[in-house]
Amino acid sequence: MIFASSAAVYGEPCYLPIDEAHPKQSLSYYALSKTTAEEYIQLFSKQFGLNYSILRFSNVYGPGQNVDGEAGVISIFIDQLLKDMTPTIYGGKQTRDFVYVKDVVSALVKTAQIDSNGIFNISSNTEITIKEVLEALMKNIPTNAPPQYAAPKVGDILKSRLNNKKAMNALQWKPLHSLSEGLTHTVKSYKNKPSAD
C-alpha cells in the first residue's frame, strides 16, 4: 500500500534538511492524524507482512488547489491577488519547501512501479520564505495593493526543508519543476478557471 503522509509529522525541525530519521513531534491534530496512521501501517506490516510505502510530502501546490479553509498559502495568495485583495502575510520569514503537484504524482507512480518498502520524503529539497513566494507571485499577477503583515500564527513552524535523496535513489524519481515554472502554470490555471459567480 502507498500512504500519503506529510512533513507535518516532523514538527519544528531539529536540523535541516530534514531526513526520514528525524524525530516526529505532532504540533497539530493534522500532524497527529498522519503520525497515527503511519504507526498503524507499520504495526500492521510487522504483524501481517503488509508491504507499504509512506510518502511524506512537503508543501504541495498546483492547479486545482482549494483556496478555502486551511488551503495552501500559494493558492490563497493567488486568489487574493486575482481578486485585487490585499494579501496578508502572517510573519513572512517562515521558510517552506514547495513541491509541484505533477512531481508528487510522478513520485506516486514511481512508488507503485517499484518494490520500495519504506518511508520517503517527497520534496523539492529547497527552502524559500513566504514573503519571497508572494513577491514571485506578484510578478505574475501585478497589483497596486502592498501586502499587509500580521503576527505569525500560533504553532506555525519557522523553517522547513525536506531531504529527498532517499526517494531519488530508491524510487528513481526527481522533481522536475522549478518553483518559478510551477507558479507560472498554477497562476495560469487560476486565471483560466471559470468564475463561480
All cell numbers assigned to 19:
531526513
- The total of other beta-carbon atoms located within 10 Å of residue 185's CB is 14
- Give the active site residue among 15, 30, 100, 190: 30
* 15 CB-side CA count, 13 A: 6
Closest CA to 97 of 114, 66, 72: 72
Sequence-separated (6 or more) residues with CB below 8 Å from residue 87 = 76, 77, 80, 81, 134, 145, 147, 148
What angle (nearest 5°) sits at the alpha carbon of residue 13, between those of residues 56 and 165?
45
Is 29 designated active site? no
Pair 165, 21: CB distance under 8 Å:
no
Spatial separation of the C-alpha atoms in residues 57 and 67, rounded to whole Å: 19
Show which residues are catalytic.
Answer: 30
